[in-house]
């Protein structure tokens, strides 16, 4: 029995998720949800509804209307939406895109608003206002205004530079041009001026500017080939095809200008693979689907021109709908820094309040009775205390360092340029340098715990290469000479110059295979390559004398290209024939049937008529499906299986090749069934698959191919290093499960020892955990402890591989069908309460399930999510951020990765062959995945260490400087008098102590870049926040407080009742202020010297230069000349020259400096000797390490037999291939038939092989 709680939170548990399907549940229509209800029978109502929909495709919820060539159509009130009060705007977006934040009008107010959201900036604005009130201020207004203007100005300039770069990129895209019909003819128009309903013309190799309905093209039947790399990362060509009616009537400019069709379709959404709508034209309705839509971001290929009608523009396009919101990203240290500033403000208020109370007490006890202190104002002690509270707020304001933020910005800016200038992250092949596209996240690169990576184009090059094969039980592809003997290094590649059709790019090292092909003694080898040349759906065209192939997948293209180089060249095809050059002899074969690939069949076949009229079926497919259909007496079965195991251990993608002869009678019987299935109006695909099964049996095995899905250089080494840095790597891809798993092995995310957990296993584990949580909730005090137990027992290496469908199932993200509107009586309060409680429980259940999933996934060393949508990628990242509070990085190269890149704390774009969408949305970009290790382990780690060291020191030097005022208060009646000269207070943070710490923040490094890469464990410091946290902050506070005590009380004790050499007491206020200030400058500058790990001339110059600068400026400011010019501003006339000529004062300063620094030196020595850190150990042995070999050796995969589960046979596209196009003849240009064919009158069924050589 199912309880009420169960029933309300169960989401279609009967339906088993489909691993092959990419789920798009976020925008599913009611009808789709209806059809996907488990166990729903078609029934008479459903049947009649389907029939009705087929008659009227526009019957569905198609509220988006687009009229061609009629801009006045969109001015109707029904197409307007209210944006503010009575202001209305068209619901149709313009085509301009906007990624910038400011414009000339909004820059100043918006930027100032953003800056004053920072606690410190707002605090100093309030302080500036307080300083302008003479009754409470003991400091001049310029001491706050100058630093504040400096901070605001530098930050504003940096933000302006960043935004100008965004404006430039937007303008570059928005100002691209294409031809649009205006005033009856095509005119060049900028993308930003394109509107919904416009008719546009696109040319070969141009990007599609908006989502458009394809109307016609230069190709037969208005086919249009597009590359969707920007959308899904796939570089193989896909085809789109216009409606037959628009193909026939809309080829000429005049016809396109007169076109007035009305499209009714779905509202803008993010589903890249679905489109529902209809075209109404000339009193007829025509159904539209995704095959007739060209999406923004696609590139027109192999099509001279095409025409289209804009359906969605700008922000409404599917690519922009998948981009997600632009998020304001801040680092963890930024947040911590803000909290510390709040802490300092609280401490400041408490100290000021305490000192104000002290002043009130002092006034009552001493001030009122001391006639010589009378100031002619009869204020009460309480009022004087109140004024002093604000006075101390001003005096102690340097506890909240205003220059902190500007210094942090300068350091980040400099570190960004170091990333940009790093030649070791420059990719020469594409002339691509690393680019820090934001300057605010550098130190966060040193704290990454999870990396979420795309697969295609990020880990792989998306280039398939034919590496090895097994023919008749014999393996080929190793480096061998013509006699079959293994060669040593260097490897010598095969010379294909004997083949006029060789493409010049194909690399192969087995000379023995070439000799076997040339000799012609092995008929099995000839059949093998003949099969590769004939069994495919590739299409060929010739441009500039070069033979080019268009394949439905890069795998299939690689196989046909390999056959071409080995002498079996696919030249051309017609609707029913295929022409092949076999070792220079050109032959044309009749193709009787193409049995196309789909994800269930995992194979494809062709039936051809060979010489002599015999009919043969050639088949290629996954070993699992081919071996089930082999003839029982296949002698090469075991040898081929052994070869498959070897190929699999090398992480190559394998396919089995086989054939069988078919008698004429058998073919005729089968062909009749095939034709019937082809004409079926319902369940056509299932009927065809059933007919295919009947002929694909008793196959004779020829051998197997091994293709390398070429990884980018250095991917396994990078992943290995990052794993050693305790970074977990998750791969999120739209690719199929087999492919993703195979790449997991290739890049060593998965090994032979890894225990893999799949979606169904995960679902079962989570269901069990959830039931246990429900049953034990509140039953015992130890139940919560038991529920935190790990999901997996033991220390075995584990990985999780899960598909998008299972992800939706597990995370309860499947969209529930909305109930139809029914007339009901108003609900009672009790019913409303029950409904609210039900929803609350469902949300709690969902949240618990998601938390459990994240806990389970994080127990695995690697996670691979395949067949996931862009929205799911972002959701997975968001879940880890939410439940693990971990710092995340997402890396990708296509538009389908943009949402994930924006969601992660740090987004990295790979600027490769798949467009710039990911790069434009990223925080950092570079040319290859391998540069990620240097970005994190070197730049990220250094940035984190530098920033932490900078912040610790900065807080220390400000506390040491400011707290002296507090100790001085005990000797001046808590009167808010400053312990230093005003100009010293103004220049302390700006000139006297800023440069050394800035240089440490920019240049310091504990170990070199090579050692950082060699010892990835050093990275763990940042992940655990060990170098900067509240503990370190309070240690800096304590250190500063102790330093301030020494700097005040050592001179105080030394001057007490003492006499100078000239008979004068040196203990006047001004001499004391100079002594304390000089001691402070020496201490803080020597302290940063002790904190510096990497000394350069610049560091040494900055430390001693700052001290020299202090004395130079102090002597100038204390000179008589400047006092004559500005008597009220410079009152310490002659103090420094008089005081600093006394040895007693210098001895006092030396004693203060020694007492401040010697304990620090002792503590550092003891910690490095007794408790050395990992970096201390490496520094100690750095010379030894630098002499050793620096190469990183890749771990070899262990060879194991019988790992069939490892084999990836995904050598086909995600969808069906081009078979329907080929067999229907729609893709073939009309040519005159040869004369002999006309005379013979032979059809496809009666034709024979024709030699044309």
Cα 218 from Cα 275, distance rounded (Å)? 24
Residue with tokens 């295929």: 578
Are 451 and 955 contacting, i.e. CB atoms less than 8 angstroms apart? no
Cα 1046 from Cα 1053, distance rounded (Å)? 10
Task: Give 213's strand partners.
Answer: 293, 309
Q: 1097 vs 945, 1104, 1105, CA distance in Å?
A: 21, 11, 11
Can you give the three-state secondary structure of 1101-1145, one letter per residue?
A: HHHHHHHHHHHHHHHHHCCHHHHHHCCCCCCCCCHHHHHCCCHHH
Are 1001 and 395 contacting, i.e. CB atoms less than 8 angstroms apart? no
Helix (H) or strand (E) holding 597: none
Residue with tokens 């969209």: 815
| DSSP helix/strand/coil, 640 | helix
Cα 124 from Cα 147, distance rounded (Å)? 10
Are 911 and 926 contacting, i.e. CB atoms less than 8 angstroms apart? yes
Report DSSP state, residue 1051: H
Report DSSP state, residue 1148: H
Tokens of 1040: 């500063």
Cα 547 from Cα 538, distance rounded (Å)? 12
| Known catalytic membership, residue 1068 | no
Tokens of 173: 């895209």
Residue with tokens 């000139």: 991
Tokens of 399: 């506890």
Cα 1148 from Cα 1153, distance rounded (Å)? 9
Cα 990 from Cα 910, distance rounded (Å)? 40
Tokens of 409: 């910005």
Q: 761 vs 67, 404, 799, 1154, 1217, CA distance in Å?
A: 51, 52, 12, 66, 33
Can you give the three-state secondary structure of 135-164, one letter per residue?
A: CCCCCCCHHHHHHHHHHHHHHHHHHHHHHH
Strand arrangement, sheet containing 284-288: 64-67, 262-265, 277-281, 284-288
Residue with tokens 């597990």: 810
Are 552 and 583 contacting, i.e. CB atoms less than 8 angstroms apart? no
Task: Give 224's strand partners.
Answer: 240
Cα 291 from Cα 221, distance rounded (Å)? 13
Are 918 and 894 contacting, i.e. CB atoms less than 8 angstroms apart? yes
Dihedral of CA 731/737/739/743: which sign? positive
Q: Catalytic pick from 198, 232, 454, 1004? A: 454
> What burial class does residue 977 get, using C-beta atoms within 10 Å of its C-beta: 0-12 exposed, 13-18 middle, 19+ buried?
middle
The two most distant CA atoms of the chain are separated, in Å, by 134
Phi and psi, residue 120, nearest 5°: -70, -40
Task: Give 474's strand partners.
Answer: 471
Cα 105 from Cα 116, distance rounded (Å)? 18
Q: 131 vs 117, 149, 394, CA distance in Å?
A: 21, 15, 7
Total residues found in the chain within this entry? 1253
Would you tell me how many other CB atoms lie within 10 Å of the CB of residue 142? 14
Would you tell me how many other CB atoms lie within 10 Å of the CB of residue 110? 14
Catalytic residue numbers, as ranges: 454
């Amino acid at each position: 029995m199912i309880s009420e709680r169960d029933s309300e939170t169960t989401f279609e548990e009967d339906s088993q998720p489909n691993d092959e399907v990419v789920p798009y549940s976020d925008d599913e229509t009611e009808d789709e949800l209806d059809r996907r209800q488990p166990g729903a029978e078609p029934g008479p109502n459903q049947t009649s509804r389907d029939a009705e929909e087929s008659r009227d495709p526009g019957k569905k919820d198609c509220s988006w209307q687009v009229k061609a060539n009629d801009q006045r159509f969109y001015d109707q009130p029904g197409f307007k939406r209210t944006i503010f009060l009575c202001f209305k705007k068209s619901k149709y977006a313009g085509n301009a895109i906007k990624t910038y934040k400011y414009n000339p009008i909004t820059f100043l107010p918006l930027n100032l608003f953003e800056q004053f959201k920072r606690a410190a900036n707002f605090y100093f604005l309030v302080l500036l206002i307080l300083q302008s009130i003479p009754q409470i201020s003991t400091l001049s207004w310029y001491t706050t205004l100058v630093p504040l203007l400096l901070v605001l100005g530098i930050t504003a300039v940096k933000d302006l530079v960043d935004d100008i770069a965004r404006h430039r990129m937007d303008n570059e895209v928005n100002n691209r041009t294409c031809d649009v019909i205006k005033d009856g003819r095509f005119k060049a128009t900028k993308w930003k001026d394109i509107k919904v309903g416009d008719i546009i013309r696109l040319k070969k190799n141009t990007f599609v500017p908006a989502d458009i309905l394809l109307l016609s093209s230069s190709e037969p039947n208005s086919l249009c080939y597009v590359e969707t790399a920007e959308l899904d990362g796939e570089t193989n060509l896909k085809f789109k095809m216009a409606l037959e009616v628009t193909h026939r009537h809309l080829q000429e400019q005049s016809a396109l200008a007169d076109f007035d069709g009305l499209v009714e379709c779905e509202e803008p959404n993010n589903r890249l693979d679905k489109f529902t709508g209809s075209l109404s034209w000339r009193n007829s309705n025509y159904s539209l689907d995704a095959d007739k839509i060209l999406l923004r971001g696609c590139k027109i290929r192999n099509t001279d021109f095409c025409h289209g009608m804009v359906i969605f523009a700008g922000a409404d396009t599917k690519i922009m709908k998948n981009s997600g919101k632009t998020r304001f990203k801040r680092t963890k240290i930024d947040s911590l820094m803000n909290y510390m500033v709040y802490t300092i403000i609280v401490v400041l208020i408490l100290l000021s309040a305490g000192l104000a109370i002290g002043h009130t007490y002092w006034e009552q006890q001493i001030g009122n009775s001391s006639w010589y202190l009378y100031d002619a104002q009869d204020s009460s002690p309480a009022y004087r205390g109140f004024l002093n509270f604000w006075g101390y707020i001003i005096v102690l304001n340097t506890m909240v360092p205003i220059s902190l933020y500007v210094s942090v910005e300068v350091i980040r800016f400099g570190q960004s340029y170091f990333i940009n200038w790093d030649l070791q992250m420059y990719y020469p092949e594409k002339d691509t340098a690393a680019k820090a596209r934001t300057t605010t996240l550098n130190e966060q690169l040193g704290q990454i715990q999870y990396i979420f990576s795309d697969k295609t184009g990020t880990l792989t090059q998306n280039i398939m290469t034919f590496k090895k094969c097994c023919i008749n039980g014999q393996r080929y592809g190793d480096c061998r000479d013509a006699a079959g003997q293994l060669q040593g290094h260097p490897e010598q590649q095969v010379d294909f110059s004997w083949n006029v059709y060789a493409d010049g790019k194909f690399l192969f090292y087995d000379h023995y295979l070439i000799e076997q092909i040339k000799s012609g003694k092995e008929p099995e080898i000839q059949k093998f390559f003949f099969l590769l040349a004939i069994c495919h759906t590739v299409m060929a065209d010739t441009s500039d004398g070069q033979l080019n192939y268009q394949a439905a997948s890069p795998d299939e293209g690689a196989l046909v290209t390999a056959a071409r180089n080995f002498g079996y060249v696919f030249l051309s095809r017609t609707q029913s024939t295929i022409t092949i050059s076999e070792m220079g002899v050109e032959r044309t074969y009749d193709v009787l049937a193409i049995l196309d690939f789909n994800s269930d069949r995992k194979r494809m076949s062709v039936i051809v008529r060979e010489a002599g009229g015999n009919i043969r079926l050639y088949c290629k497919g996954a070993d699992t499906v081919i071996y089930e259909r082999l003839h029982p007496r296949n002698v090469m079965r075991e040898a081929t299986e052994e070869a498959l195991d070897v190929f699999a251990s090398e992480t190559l993608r394998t396919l089995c090749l086989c054939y069988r002869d078919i008698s004429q009678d058998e073919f005729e019987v089968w062909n009749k069934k095939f034709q019937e299935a082809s004409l079926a109006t319902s369940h056509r695909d299932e009927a065809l698959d059933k007919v295919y099964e009947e002929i694909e049996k008793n196959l004779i095995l020829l051998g197997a191919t091994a293709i390398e899905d070429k990884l980018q250089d250095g991917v396994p080494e990078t992943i290995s290093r990052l794993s050693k840095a305790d970074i977990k790597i998750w791969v999120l891809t739209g690719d199929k499960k087999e492919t993703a798993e195979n790449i997991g092995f290739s890049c060593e995310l998965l090994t032979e020892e890894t225990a893999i957990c799949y979606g169904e296993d995960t679902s079962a584990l989570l269901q069990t955990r959830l039931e246990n949580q429900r049953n034990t909730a509140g039953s015992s005090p130890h139940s919560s402890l038991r529920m935190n137990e790990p999901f997996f027992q033991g220390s075995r290496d584990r990985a999780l591989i899960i598909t998008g469908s299972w992800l939706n199932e597990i995370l309860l993200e499947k969209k529930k069908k909305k109930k139809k509107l029914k007339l009901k009586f108003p609900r009672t309060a009790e019913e409303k309460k029950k409904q609210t409680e039900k929803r609350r429980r469902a949300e709690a259940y969902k949240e618990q399930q998601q938390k459990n999933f994240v806990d389970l996934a994080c127990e695995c060393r690697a996670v691979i999510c395949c067949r996931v949508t862009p929205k799911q990628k972002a959701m997975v990242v968001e879940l880890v951020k939410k439940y693990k509070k971990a710092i995340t990085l997402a890396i990708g190269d296509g538009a389908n990765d943009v949402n994930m890149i924006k969601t992660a704390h740090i987004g990295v774009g790979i600027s490769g062959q798949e467009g710039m969408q990911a790069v434009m949305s990223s925080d950092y970009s570079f040319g290859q995945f391998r540069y990620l290790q240097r970005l994190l382990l070197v730049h990220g780690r250094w940035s984190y260490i530098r920033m932490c060291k900078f912040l610790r020191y900065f807080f220390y030097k400000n506390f040491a400087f400011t707290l002296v005022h507090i100790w001085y208060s005990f000797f001046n009646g808590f009167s808010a008098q400053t312990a230093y000269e005003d100009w010293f207070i103004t220049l302390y943070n700006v000139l006297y102590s800023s440069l050394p710490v800035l240089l440490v923040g920019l240049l310091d490094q504990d170990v070199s870049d090579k050692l950082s890469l060699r010892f990835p464990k050093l990275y763990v410091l940042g992940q655990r926040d060990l170098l900067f946290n509240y503990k370190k902050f309070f240690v800096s506070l304590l250190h500063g407080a102790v330093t301030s005590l020494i700097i005040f009380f050592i001179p105080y004790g030394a001057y007490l009742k003492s006499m100078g050499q000239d008979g004068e007491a040196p203990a006047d206020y001004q001499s004391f202020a100079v002594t304390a200030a000089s001691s402070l400058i020496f201490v803080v500058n020597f302290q940063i010297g002790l904190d510096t790990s990497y000394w350069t001339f610049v560091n040494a110059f900055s430390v001693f230069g700052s001290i020299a600068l202090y004395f130079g400026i102090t002597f100038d400011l204390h000179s008589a000349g400047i006092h004559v010019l500005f008597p009220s501003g410079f009152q310490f006339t002659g103090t420094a020259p008089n005081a600093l000529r006394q040895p007693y004062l210098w001895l006092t300063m030396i004693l203060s400096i020694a007492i401040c620094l010697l304990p620090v030196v002792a503590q550092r020595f003891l910690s490095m000797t007794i408790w050395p850190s990992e970096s201390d150990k490496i520094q100690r042995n750095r010379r030894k390490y630098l002499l050793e070999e620096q190469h990183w050796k890749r771990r070899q995969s262990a060879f194991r037999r019988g790992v069939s589960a490892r084999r990836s046979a995904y050598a086909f596209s995600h969808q069906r291939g081009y078979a329907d196009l080929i067999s229907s003849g729609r893709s073939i240009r009309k040519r005159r038939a040869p004369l002999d064919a006309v005379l013979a009158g032979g059809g496809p069924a009666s034709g024979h092989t024709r030699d044309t050589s």
